[in-house]
Amino acid sequence: MNGLSVVIPIYNVEDYIEECLQTIVGSLNGFVNVQIILVNDGSKDRSGEIAQKYAKEQPTFHYVSKENGGLSDARNYGLKFVKYEYVTFIDSDDYITEFYFTEVFRALSKHPDLIIFDWMDIGDDGYRNRVKGMEFSDSLWTVQPSAWNKVYKTSLFTEVIFPKGKIYEDVGTIYKLLWYVKDYLYINKPLYMYRKNRAGSILTTISPKINDIYDALEDTYSFYKEKDALTKENVEGLCYQYVKILLWSNMYRQLKFYKFNFIGFYKKMKETRKLVYKYFNSWRLNSILLRNSTYFTNRFGENYISRLDKVGGGYFSTAYTICIVIIRNIRKR
């Protein structure tokens, strides 16, 4: 059936869910072939009550409840109730713009397998920053791994589901889905408002769970290997994401996790560097990495390839590189 289903996992977000659902109602703007699936994932606050109220008032809203199983489990559960050809996800502590559905349905008229759009990072202190949904519109492997800045053909989830009990569940799902995508559209507009670094959110809690990223990437690599799909294009894409995620964003989180235990941090990044070289011995020549020089230069400086290679390469070279990254980050504030 042509239309759009929206899966919204809900867990202890009573301070945010009202705004989320209000923006959905405001953006619908007469669209009737929309199904809003509210999945209460065992909330212990008033989130479920608020969701039920909207389900009673809005004919397109459908409320379901389950025992707590985490974000991935809630998304997978919501997928069971999808009735339309396309599906998307909205996190209940975020919200959308008033032209969200107008832009999405305009894109849906072209029947792509996947739609990607930009978003705005927002903070309680008034922070605003536009983030591109993909770094290069002609390179699908540069798509951001977030689940909520995309609209998918529902059939894409026939073979791939979100990994339960893991953080970085988006990384472990999105890059597998690319294997099935033949046609995609990129909307160069921010349609989604993401609460960045919200207190209590999964990615602001630095714990050993940050190591789930290694499982997510390893599982994705194995997926392509089992499909006999390690083509030049896919290897380039996988390599780029390994380097960008493990040697940048993961490195930054590992630094926070180890705090003043620099020896522990160095050992972790040494293992990480070996992993990158294990699968991608010539990663320094990766075409996407070289093309996206602006992103990495802003973080590591002009000779960013060499500095990325120093992370985990030696104790003192790692320390020197981290100092450069920290100093550059402080100057940007």
The answer for residues whose C-beta is within 8 angstroms of residue 320's C-beta and 6 or more apart is 310
Q: Based on C-alpha coordinates, what's the Rg of the chain?
A: 20
Residue ranges and CATH numbers for the domains of the chain are 4-203 (3.90.550.10), 206-332 (no CATH)
Helix (H) / strand (E) containing 195: strand 184-195
Q: Is the pLDDT of residue 211 over 80?
A: yes
Tell me the pLDDT tens digit for each residue of 160-199. 999 998 899 999 999 999 999 999 999 999 999 999 875 5
- For 186: left if phi > 0, alpha if psi spans -120 to 50, otherwise beta; the answer is beta
- Token pair of 323 as six digits: 């100092």
Q: Is the pLDDT of residue 51 over 60?
A: yes
- Residues 211/272, Cβ–Cβ less than 8 Å: no
Residue 203: the pLDDT is: 47
Residue 118: the pLDDT is: 98
Mean pLDDT for the stretch of residues 230-248: 98
CA angle, 38 then 3 then 116, to 5°: 80
Mean pLDDT for the stretch of residues 20-36: 96
Tell me the pLDDT tens digit for each residue of 302-328. 999 999 999 999 999 999 999 999 888
Query: Cβ–Cβ contacts within 10 Å for residue 44, how many?
Result: 10
Residue 199: the pLDDT is: 57
The dihedral built from the CA positions of residue 286, 288, 294 and 296, taken in this order, carries a sign that is negative
Provide the pLDDT confidence category of residue 14 given band limits of 50, 70 and 90: very high
